[in-house]
Amino acid sequence: MEFITNFAQSFIALFQEAGLTLVGMVKGSVPMLIVLLTTINFIIKIIGEDKINNVARIFGKSKILTYGILPSFAWFFFSSPGALTVGRFLPEKCKPGYQDALGATAHPLTALFPHVVPSELFIWLGVAEGIKKIGLPVSGLAIRYIIAGVIVGLMRGFITEIIFVFLSKRRNIQAKTA
């Protein structure tokens, strides 16, 4: 009988803990995300979608800007999910590559800028702790990690764009190139 009682208490405790986690997200993450998205849309309305589209076209013409620099700036200034919304202004052919480049640059940027993807900070902190234990400087590793992330993001974005354009042509889908 004691086993059944303990099982029931543990079962209910699991859902109580899940409820506390949900309340924490509703009180913390959800309002932050709503305010962030509202602010981004407000900035877009003030500047004007036409101007942002013009800047995006300029970025879309340069692979280095689109896949190397823009993802890093988007993560730094808009964090998640704001960085994802920045890509909506890029030409269609650049969007898949931009998303791929975002994925490659998010985690390295967290090494110096924890606000980029706070949920992934524990990974970097674990790596940093190991580096500290063997007596090596962490800041140098963080900078090399970011540089490697930007380079990998640039390569992944470029390759993804090539694949996207190839598959679009193969399926007779016209992706806007400008």
- DSSP of the chain, one letter per residue? -HHHHHHHHHHHHHHHHHHHHHHHHHHTHHHHHHHHHHHHHHHHHHH-HHHHHHHHHHHHH-HIIIIIIHHHHHHHHHHHHHHHHHGGGS-GGGHHHHHHHHHHHHHHHHTT-TTSSGGGHHHHHHHHHHHHHTT--HHHHHHHHHHHHHHHHHHHHHHHHHHHHHHHHHTT------
Residue 25 is predicted with a pLDDT of 66
Over the stretch 69-103, which tens digit does the pLDDT of each residue have? 889 888 887 777 778 888 888 888 889 999 999 98
Q: Identify the residue with better confidence: 154 or 129.
A: 154
Over the stretch 7-33, which tens digit does the pLDDT of each residue have? 888 888 888 888 887 777 677 666 766
The percentage of residues in the chain with a pLDDT greater than 70, rounded to a whole number, is 93
Residue 92 is predicted with a pLDDT of 87
Residue 178 is predicted with a pLDDT of 46
Residue 171 is predicted with a pLDDT of 85
